[in-house]
Amino acid sequence: MLTKRIIPCLDVNHGRVVKGRRFEDIRDVDDPVTLARFYRHEGADELVFYDITASSEARKISLEFVQKVAEQIDIPFCVGGGVESLEDVATILRHGADKVSINTAAVKNPGLLSEAARKFGSQCVVLSMDVKRNAEGRYDVYIKGGREKTSLDAIAWAIEGVRLGAGEIVVNSIDEDGMKKGYDIALLQQMTTAVRVPVIASGGAGTIPHFIEAIIQADVDGVLAASVFHYQEIAIRTLKKALADAGVPVRHWEEST
């Protein structure tokens, strides 16, 4: 069985890492390069950076921090936010990112997923989804940093995204984002059943059992979190030991010392 990935998520706003709850009450955390070095040392398997206001402000992603992070760490990292074209994907990869996350632009121009996959390979193309449960119990897709509801059903969009070329899906629950009450297991189970590419859980981690539940109950390939790592409520090495004790295969945490 492949090892499960522990992935800190760093939301970047104008060059600073920030964190909120349900995409609101945004607070400053730290410098992205400083945090990237810290997480690499602590044993993170990957990092994800989202420029959270690039799409809503109709601007390109800030590339300065991308290049600096690439110079400082030797683990894979993904970058998203404000990606609108194949040129944007190429620029982010050229600045050192290993993967590019596409959310709003994929909804508006699904062909971008196919173009990017053909040009750079599916392994570089991540379909990022912000989703929210509706009154019928299904999940709607939101864009522009969770600010705009679309008519897309989340499960159907994930299937289509993979067909178009996405090699990985990060699914973030808006309902659970920053709440620390646990991942949306039902959502994740539907996702991992529907697609045959890696699925990364996002939104809701608050305790070590939450990570274990998502991996064991929903069979996700990775677990992404922000607050509990940023505020050092859960140490990555402690989390990895707990996962290993629960029978979850993880990359050994001492390899990153």
pLDDT in tens, 129-188: 999 999 999 999 999 878 899 999 999 999 999 999 999 999 999 999 888 999 999 999
Catalytic member of 11, 51, 184, 221: 11
Whether residue 221 lies in the annotated active site = no
State what percent of residues in the chain have pLDDT above 70.
Answer: 87
Nearest alpha carbon to residue 52 among 20, 95, 86: 20
C-alpha 188/C-alpha 3 separation (Å) is 18
> Would the pLDDT of 25 be above 60?
no
pLDDT in tens, 230-249: 888 999 999 999 999 999 99
pLDDT confidence of residue 255: 47
Burial of 161 per CB tally in 10 Å (0-12, 13-18, 19+)? buried
C-alpha 68/C-alpha 47 separation (Å) is 14
pLDDT confidence of residue 235: 96
Domains and CATH numbers, the chain: 5-256 (3.20.20.70)
Whether residue 25 lies in the annotated active site = no
Catalytic member of 51, 130, 140, 177: 130
Residue type at 132 in one-letter notation: K
pLDDT in tens, 52-71: 665 556 556 678 889 999 99
